[in-house]
Amino acid sequence: MNLDFSNDQKYLQDEARKFFDKEGGLVIARGVMDNAEDYNKELWAKIVELGWTGIRIPEEFDGLGLGHLELCVIAEELGRSLAPVPFSSSVYLFTEALIKFASNEIKSEILPKLVSGEIVGTYAIAEDMHQATESNLTTSLNADNISGTKIAIPDAGIASHMIVVVKSTNGVDLRLVDLSDSSVKITPQKNLDTSRAFFKAEFQDTPSTIIGEAGQGWSYTQHLLDQAAVLFAFEQVGGSQAALDMAKAYSIERFAFGRQIGSYQAIKHKLADMYIALTLAKSNSYYGAWALSSESSELPLAAATARVSATKAFQLCSKENIQTHGGNGFTWEYDCHLFYKRSKVLSVLLGSEATWKEKLVSNLEKTNTLEKR
SS3 category, 195: coil
In three-state secondary structure terms, 213 is: coil
Cβ count within 10 A of residue 45: 12
In this structure, the dihedral spanned by the alpha carbons of residues 98, 86, 129 and 303, taken in order and rounded to 10 degrees, is 60
Q: Is the pLDDT of residue 140 over 70?
A: yes
In the structure, what pLDDT confidence band is assigned to residue 159 with cuts at 50, 70 and 90? very high
User: Residue 221 and residue 204: Cα distance in Å, rounded?
Assistant: 23
Chain segment 209-247, per-residue pLDDT in tens: 999 999 999 999 999 999 999 999 999 999 999 999 999
Q: Residue 107: CB partners within 8 Å, gap ≥ 6?
A: 61, 98, 99
- Domain ranges (residues) in the chain: 7-116, 121-215, 218-372
What does DSSP say about strands 140-142 and 145-154: parallel, antiparallel, or unpaired? antiparallel
Mean pLDDT score, 237-265: 94
pLDDT in tens, 162-171: 999 999 998 9
Q: What pLDDT band is residue 367 in, cutting at 50, 70 and 90?
A: confident
Among 249, 351, 353, 233, residue whose Cα is nearest residue 288: 233
**Closest by CA position to 243, among listed 32, 26, 87:** 26
Whether the pLDDT of residue 23 is over 70: the answer is yes
What percentage of the chain carries pLDDT values higher than 90? 91
- Angle subtended at Cα 252 by Cα 251 and Cα 253, rounded to the nearest 5 degrees: 100
Neighbouring-strand partners of residue 16? none
Compute the distance between CA of residue 75 and CA of residue 68 in angstroms, rounded to an integer.
Answer: 10
CATH superfamily of 121-215: Butyryl-CoA Dehydrogenase, subunit A, domain 2 (2.40.110.10)
What mean pLDDT do residues 9-21 have? Answer: 96
7-116 shares its CATH topology with 121-215: no
Which CATH code fits 218-372?
A: 1.20.140.10
Give the pLDDT confidence score for residue 373 in this predicted structure: 57
Specify the pLDDT at position 206: 97
Residue 288: closest CA among 312, 313, 310:
310
| DSSP for 114-166, written as a single string | HHHTS--EEEE---SSSPP-TTT---EEETTEEEEEEEEEETTTT-SEEEEEE
pLDDT of residue 371: 62
Q: In the CATH scheme, what is the code of domain 7-116?
A: 1.10.540.10
The pLDDT of residue 324: 96
